[in-house]
Amino acid sequence: MHRTLSLLSAFFAFASIMLIIVGTVMGNTRVSVRDRLARLGRRMTASEEDLRLPLTERLWRPLLRGVAAPVARLTPQRVSERLRLAIQHAGLSGSLDVQNFMALRVIAMLGATGLGITLMLLTSLWPAGPSSSTASPYTSSTATIAAGASAGGPNALSLIAISLGLGGLAYLVPTLWIQGQAKQRQEAIRHAMPDALDLLLLCLEAMPPDRALARVTEHAQGPLRDELQRLRSEMLLQAPQDALRAMADRVGVPEVQALVAAMVQSEQLGTQLAGPLGALAVDMRVRRRQRAETVAREAPVKMIFPLVLLILPPLFIVILGPAIPQMLRAIAPGIHL
């Protein structure tokens, strides 16, 4: 009973820590226009600025700043660049930077390792069997630990292995999650590009490019709409070519990069967009159909493992289960079931 309670308490403590970390990272850090105007209207002290922040930021931001600096110095440049691209492609660059993400990974790894050590130590304190009713209430803690160890408690090697395993898992899971989010977002943009490009071609025949882009933004869905809205906002603040190249780097989708290259070349040379965009739209539709056919061909292969491991064994048990006792009686008449 004590062992079960310790396992549950350790699990819920670890889940609470991870939820606080995720809430801190994914929390909305945007400041409203009214708050910014209020800050410009009067000068705030440092304590007032801190009190305006949420509680999670007041608790975790100093810790992140203390951990992020040494972790950033020890991380190779190529690893930092790869993480930056993954965060950017996942659409989280506005709420999460590379240093804070690496600091969160290190904190999660240390927390999971400490949780594993605490869990194994708590498990080794109680013996596996029922406690004796005649035991003296003044038994020393050394005797209790020795009894737990003799009842099958973990040794030092298993303690280290489990703790390192939990730490490595907590270190890798955020990276895998970021990469999965980036892949899912890129796939959504790639799937929506042919329809958006067809609509852009239709709009360019009757209106200028800026109004055509605004009309496409209104009818777009998902991450593509967010990127087009950001593109329109950036085009008001900087050169259109720079805004287009920034969007191509931010998204990381080859179809978007090809569209940006065609638009930049058309603007530089002063040529019409209809010809290059028409050929690009046809190519995008062909590629989307090919990806769908590839996924359809891979479906039977992917279904083999769940079919063999999850569907066929219960089916055999249901069908052959009632016949097994009769078969055993026929083979060995002396068996009584």
Q: Quickly list DSSP for 26-48.
A: HS-----HHHHHHHHHSPPPHHH
> Which range, of 76-90, 118-132, 145-159, 323-337, averages the lowest pLDDT?
145-159
Do 175 and 228 share a domain, yes or no?
no
- Is 215 within a domain? yes
Number of domains the chain is built from: 2
Do 12 and 76 share a domain, yes or no?
yes
List, for residues 22-51, the tens digit of each pLDDT value: 555 444 444 455 555 555 555 545 455 555
Residue 154's pLDDT is 54
Mean pLDDT of 239-263: 89
Percentage of the chain with pLDDT > 70?
A: 70
Residues 253 and 197 sit within 8 Å (Cβ to Cβ) = no
- Is 83 within a domain? yes
Do 87 and 202 share a domain, yes or no?
no
- Is 118 within a domain? yes
Check residue 132 and report its DSSP letter: P
Indicate the length of the chain as a whole number. Answer: 337
Residue 2's pLDDT is 58
Do 215 and 104 share a domain, yes or no?
no
- Is 309 within a domain? no
Do 166 and 59 share a domain, yes or no?
yes
Check residue 131 and report its DSSP letter: P
List, for residues 227-238, the tens digit of each pLDDT value: 999 999 998 888
- Is 301 within a domain? no
Residue 1's pLDDT is 56
- Is 331 within a domain? no
> Which range, of 8-12, 87-91, 181-185, 315-319, averages the lowest pLDDT?
8-12
Other CB atoms within a 10 A radius of the CB of residue 281 amount to 20
Do 104 and 206 share a domain, yes or no?
no
Residue 182's pLDDT is 92
Do 57 and 179 share a domain, yes or no?
yes
Do 208 and 257 share a domain, yes or no?
yes
Q: Taking all residues of the chain, what is their mean pLDDT, rounded to a whole number?
A: 76
CA distance 235 to 220: 18
For 140, 144, 145, 147, the CA distances from 153, given in Å and listed in that order, are 18, 12, 9, 9
Position 240, amino acid: P
Mean pLDDT of 197-209: 86
> Which range, of 41-45, 120-124, 207-211, 254-258, averages the lowest pLDDT?
41-45
Do 59 and 169 share a domain, yes or no?
yes
Do 120 and 244 share a domain, yes or no?
no
Mean pLDDT of 320-329: 82
Q: Using 50, 70 and 90 to split pLDDT, how confident is the model at 330? A: confident
Residue 299 buriedness (CB in 10 A; 0-12 / 13-18 / 19+): exposed
Residue 72 has pLDDT above 80, yes or no: no
Residues 47 and 214 sit within 8 Å (Cβ to Cβ) = no
pTM of this prediction? Answer: 0.66
Do 205 and 231 share a domain, yes or no?
yes
Q: Which of 100, 113, 84, 118 is nearest to 21 (CA)?
A: 100
Query: Which residues span the domain enclosing 156?
Result: 2-28+45-128+147-184
Other CB atoms within a 10 A radius of the CB of residue 174 amount to 20
Domain final residue, candidates 184, 208, 229: 184
Residue 271's pLDDT is 74
CA distance 231 to 125: 60
The token duo for 226 is 């967010």
- Is 335 within a domain? no
Higher pLDDT, 71 or 65: 71
Residue 273's pLDDT is 77
Do 121 and 14 share a domain, yes or no?
yes
Residue 114's pLDDT is 83
- Is 155 within a domain? yes
